[in-house]
Amino acid sequence: MILVGITAYMGFEGGIYYSWLHRPRVLRVFFGAAAEVPEREIIQLYESRTGVRVEATFGSSGSLLSSMKITKVGDIYSPASPDFMTRANRDNVTYADSVKILAYLVPAIIVPKGNPKNITSLEDLAIPGVKVAIGDPQTVAVGKYAVDLLEYNDLWEAVEPNIVVNAESITKLASLVTIGSVDVIIGWQVVHYWNTNASDIIWISPEKIPMISYIPAAISKYTEDRELAQDLLNYLVSDEAQAIFRGYNYYATVEEARQYAPNAEVEQIEG
- Domains in the chain and their CATH numbers? 7-104+214-266 (3.40.190.10), 107-208 (3.40.190.10)
Distance CA 174, CA 80 (A): 15
Per-residue confidence band for 23, with pLDDT thresholds at 50, 70 and 90:
very low
Contacts of 149 (CB under 8 A, 6+ apart): 107, 122, 186, 204, 208, 209, 210
pLDDT(1) > 80: no
| pLDDT at 13 (0 to 100) | 47
Q: Is the pTM of this model over 0.85?
A: yes
| pLDDT at 2 (0 to 100) | 35
Distance CA 182, CA 173 (A): 10
Distance CA 121, CA 106 (A): 15
pLDDT digits (tens, 9 = 90+) for 42-100: 999 999 999 999 999 999 999 999 999 999 999 999 999 999 999 999 999 999 999 99
The mean pLDDT of the chain is: 91
Burial of 80 (0-12, 13-18, 19+ CB in 10 A): buried
pLDDT digits (tens, 9 = 90+) for 62-76: 999 999 999 999 999
Residues 218-236: what's their mean pLDDT? 97
| pLDDT at 132 (0 to 100) | 98
The number of CA neighbours under 13 Å toward the Cβ of 164 is 14
DSSP output for the chain: ---TT-EEEEEEETTEEEEEEE---EEEEEEEGGGHHHHHHHHHHHHHHH--EEEEEEE-HHHHHHHHHHH---SEEE-SSHHHHHHHHHTT-B-GGG-EEEEEE-EEEEEETT-TT---SGGGGGSTT--EEEE-TTT-HHHHHHHHHHHHTT-HHHHGGGEEEEESSHHHHHHHHHTTSSSEEEEETHHHHH-TTTEEEEEPPGGG--EEEEEEEEEBTT-S-HHHHHHHHHHHTSHHHHHHHHHTT-BSSHHHHTTT-TT-EEPPP--
